[in-house]
Structure 1
Amino acid sequence: MMLSASDPALPAPARVQPVVDAAPSPPGRIRLAVLVIFTSLGGDAWQSLLGWPAFIVLVAALSAACVVSLVRSHAANPLPLSRYSKPLIAFLVLCTLSIIWSQYPSATVLGVVSQWLTAIAGVFVAISLSWVEILRALGTALRWLLGLSLLFEFFVAAIVRHQVGAPWLLDPWNRPPGDYQWSEGNLFNGGAIQGIVGNRNLLAFLVLLALIVFTIELIEKTRPMVTSVIWIGVALLEHALTRSATVLLATAGVAFVMVVVLVVRRVPVAKRLIIYPFGFLGLIGLIAVTLNLSDQLFPLLHRGDNLTGRVAIWNTVLNLAWQHPVLGWGWVSYWAPWVEPFKNLIVINGTVYLQAHNAWIDVFLQLGLVGLFVFSCLIAATGVRAWWMAVDPPLQPLHTPQAARGASGRRGPTSALVGRPTPYQAIALLPLLVLAALVIQSLTESRLIVEGNFLLLVLLATKVKLDPLPLGPPPRSMR
């Protein structure tokens, strides 16, 4: 249990020291961060609109820009390797080393390159922006994603008036399967909408992230209140229109985590150990209720009670994973459908599936038990830091700190200071709630290890290690 700085028995903080408020980042760097987040979270939209070749060029250009920015930041303010998340480094190194024992080396090379590019982008956002700027960048990117999705669905339903198929992502000369449509034009007929990402579960998860971000923005008043309220309304509307059962359950899980945090915040530090068992029991109860209600809930949303075939997919992948249980088959991120064993491994209604629909099972398949352990350490380390950031009272320095340029090049820790508690900030909930959403979704989707979700994981793992406490003047005073 971590002690509070307000404990009279504690003469000085026994935790990460406070940081001073940051100077604003250059506008160009913030715009690049917004575009990186938009592209990573909305990668399926770019792929459907431009096709894979143009999407790869776009990713390469953004990655190059991130590398240039990181090199300049490092030249101005070198960051020791010890300041990065060690489990994150271990996971990336293990992915890279798997080229040695991979059953499909060429595909592993592609997967490793993709993983490193995504990680670089996440580190760029974490190092370049403050927590408030990350909140605003996420908010801007998610507004574009949700706004364009609603406009796209309106255009298809009102103007086109029939299904719109995206260019076939892997073979542009053949038509995609009948159940693979960019939009089914369901906005006015009561069906589920898919948005510009072409999948209702992916759009619903973006909505869940948006609800977290927009609500924190509303509380912290980092945007005009009317704007925040309108966009929360848009997010709730799209949540209802996606009719995603898995994200509905994820929303309940995130809400439960938030309630537990708010309760723990009101409990004195010395008595918090009493609360934690009840929190775990509540989580188990929530899972049990979810499983018991799935027979009734999923059919109401036109979903099967077996998570739309995911159980069969998991069984198939697990049987394959146990053939190489220690180090796995080799990293590949998205499955490469042109190599064994992924070639036609999972085909449902003519659609070739390129993931296990469970990030943990996918990691086990690709990196074995060793990879599963390292990945679990990454989630656990990030989760613990995010938890303390959410529940510990922030500290305000008792005297003006000496200027100290930090690892991010924008701010840094002060010398040993005695701090006094200040009111909680809503932004301190951001890492924990986003991580909770990512982890809950990872149970039914493998997105946590690819593209936007992995970028968010890298962003959180890096930022909570470098800058774990958003101290200084509360964001509400920064208007």
Structure 2
Amino acid sequence: MTAPARSSLRHMPAVQSRFVVRSFATLVFFSTLAGQFWRSLFGWWGYGTIALLVVAGAVVALIRLKPDWMWPRFPKSLIAFLGLATLSLAWSFYLGASLIGVTLQWVTTLAALFLALCLSWAELLRTLSAALRWILALSLAFELIVAVFVRQAVLPFWVDYGARDVPESFYWSRGILLQGGPIEGIVANRNLLGFVALMAVIVFAVQLAAGTVSRSWGLAWLGLASLMLLLTRSATVTLAAAAVALALLFALWARRRAPEGRRPVYLAAAASVIVGGAGLAVLTPTLLTLLGKSADLTGRLDIWRSVTGLAAERPVFGWGWVSYWAPWVEPFEGLAVRRGVVYLQAHNAWLDVWLQLGILGLIVLAALVFATLWRSWFLAVDRPRRALEDTEPYAASALLPLLLTVALIAQTLAESRILIESGWLLLVVLAVTTKRQQATNQRMP
């Protein structure tokens, strides 16, 4: 056997192992972004089995791959938030529910740490892209099947709602794709599908700009993501998309100026936030009409009032961490019910944290979120002396953390997803990877 042949054989196990790692990472992203797909398809027991397999695989990967944890460079605010959530068991009003919530928070964090520590930046982008493509393609196929062949609304499997009228939001799909939507896709919620589509637009555009995908396929997937974004008709995601576009504009402007000459950029950004916030407050009724929303923000105003009143009873430390609300315990039982639908979140991440972890929790969450935004901004606009990956243009891929972080922050105003499942996983991944990259850049000569 020739020397090149022997060398090729020696490298095959490593190549195969990285393929397994990337495939599993794609499954992790898919299962957190489309958790409702597994629940609708297999019920809670089936979903629980898949979730256990994912967490077990993440733990095994962290043990076998032995990544460099870099504890001195680990996000301290992330540790503080997890520590506070765990410590809240001591004063929780609903200890059993808190035990479940804290456990879910930690296992989701373990899955995120696998992604952040065991994958290179190129692999993260590649596996996230693959998961998003699977969700979008399956969602379109699912909606087409329901609209063309089933021709009626479809409920999740393994659920019996009895003879009562089923609320519209309980349906897996309403089958109105051919009427122009809105569509729910495999995730059974147009806001969730819209946010997945927005993420896909960001990721696919970055891949196209970085040249890591063929132009024809890249444009095709970008077109599909844009179409799905429009078909969801999500007002929440529309505002998040506007925030992402604005962040991209300022990042590109900042890149064209030296660090000492960026004062106009920051002044303009601050002015845009102030003017945008004021304009949103004044024009909210008009915007709601244009987006087809009710004046009470689809019941959110009532939920916010209820949550605010409850949070004010325990303002400093909160009622105890619970993640998803537990509707079988006080004070969540009957807290947010609208048209027969029991809501399991405050539809505002900041109110949710104030309710569960008090003002102290708000401070810690703000530190985690805005420290991640701070790092992602400077990683996006200050080109380091060495690229994240030698094999891809840094200028495009460095924008990804910033744009995803901005999208998550914009979503916090109307959803609490950043605290649970895919939102928390993405936040942890972004917090850890930006912190590690910042540390790497600082060590460069």
TM-score > 0.5 by shorter chain: yes
Quick check: which one's helix share is greater?
A: 2
Would you say 1:59 and 2:51 are equivalent positions? yes
The range that moved more, 204-213 or 379-388, is 379-388
Q: Contact between 1:390 and 1:428, CA under 8 Å: does it hold in 2?
A: yes
Choose the corresponding residue for 2:428, options 451, 458, 462: 458
Deviation, 1:381, is 1.3
Q: Contact between 1:153 and 1:183, CA under 8 Å: does it hold in 2?
A: yes
Give, in whole Å, the separation in 2 of the partners of 1:190 and 1:208: 18
Alignment match, 2:268: 278
Choose the corresponding residue for 2:416, options 415, 434, 446: 446
Alignment match, 1:400: none
Alignment match, 1:206: 196
**1:377 alignment partner AA:** A
Q: Contact between 2:69 and 2:117, CA under 8 Å: does it hold in 1?
A: no
Q: Contact between 1:177 and 1:351, CA under 8 Å: does it hold in 2?
A: no
Choose the corresponding residue for 1:50, options 6, 28, 42: 42
Partner SS for 1:425: helix
Give, in whole Å, the separation in 1 of the partners of 2:189 and 2:69: 39
Alignment match, 2:167: 178
Q: Contact between 1:168 and 1:176, CA under 8 Å: does it hold in 2?
A: no
Give, in whole Å, the separation in 2 of the partners of 1:330 and 1:28: 39
**1:72 alignment partner AA:** R
* 1:123-202 equivalent positions in 2, closer than 5 A: 123-167=113-157, 177-179=166-168, 180-202=170-192
Deviation, 1:378, is 0.5
Q: 1:301 to 1:49 in 2, by over 3 A?
A: same
Choose the corresponding residue for 1:249, options 214, 239, 243: 239
Alignment match, 2:216: 226
Deviation, 1:178, is 2.4
Deviation, 1:53, is 1.0
**1:108 alignment partner AA:** S
CA RMSD of aligned residues (A): 2.2
Q: Which runs of 5+ in 2 are unaligned?
A: 1-13
Give, in whole Å, the separation in 2 of the partners of 1:360 and 1:431: 21
Would you say 1:363 and 2:353 are equivalent positions? yes
Alignment match, 2:259: 269
Alignment match, 1:287: 277
Would you say 1:116 and 2:106 are equivalent positions? yes
Give, in whole Å, the separation in 2 of the partners of 1:275 and 1:335: 41
Would you say 1:328 and 2:318 are equivalent positions? yes
Deviation, 1:306, is 3.0
Q: Contact between 1:156 and 1:162, CA under 8 Å: does it hold in 2?
A: yes
Q: Contact between 2:26 and 2:127, CA under 8 Å: does it hold in 1?
A: yes
Give, in whole Å, the separation in 1 of the partners of 2:265 and 2:290: 35
Number of equivalenced pairs: 424
**Please, what TM-score do these two structures have when normalized by structure 1?**
0.85
**Please, what TM-score do these two structures have when normalized by structure 2?**
0.91
The range that moved more, 282-291 or 180-189, is 282-291
Deviation, 1:301, is 3.0
Q: 1:295 to 1:440 in 2, by over 3 A?
A: same
Deviation, 1:469, is 8.5
Deviation, 1:302, is 2.2
Alignment match, 2:8: none
Give, in whole Å, the separation in 2 of the partners of 1:360 and 1:174: 38
Give, in whole Å, the separation in 1 of the partners of 2:249 and 2:340: 43
Runs of 4+ off more than 4 Å: 171-176
Choose the corresponding residue for 2:229, options 239, 242, 246: 239
In the TM superposition, what whole-angstrom CA distance separates every residue of 1:377-407 from its partner, at most 9, and x where no partner exists?
101211111111001022149xxxxxxxxxx
Alignment match, 1:339: 329
Give, in whole Å, the separation in 1 of the partners of 2:166 and 2:277: 35
Alignment match, 2:62: 70
Give, in whole Å, the separation in 2 of the partners of 1:462 and 1:244: 30
Alignment match, 2:7: none
Give, in whole Å, the separation in 1 of the partners of 2:355 and 2:275: 30
Deviation, 1:470, is 9.3
Choose the corresponding residue for 2:403, options 410, 423, 433: 433
Q: 1:469 to 1:217 in 2, by over 3 A?
A: farther
Q: Contact between 2:102 and 2:322, CA under 8 Å: does it hold in 1?
A: yes
Q: 1:173 to 1:94 in 2, by over 3 A?
A: farther
Q: 1:470 to 1:249 in 2, by over 3 A?
A: farther
Choose the corresponding residue for 2:376, options 386, 393, 397: 386
Give, in whole Å, the separation in 1 of the partners of 2:314 and 2:157: 36
Give, in whole Å, the separation in 2 of the partners of 1:371 and 1:263: 34
Alignment match, 1:9: none
The range that moved more, 106-115 or 301-310, is 301-310
Q: Contact between 2:40 and 2:172, CA under 8 Å: does it hold in 1?
A: yes
Would you say 1:467 and 2:429 are equivalent positions? no
Q: Which has the higher contact order (CA 8 A, sep 6+)?
A: 1
Alignment match, 1:41: 33
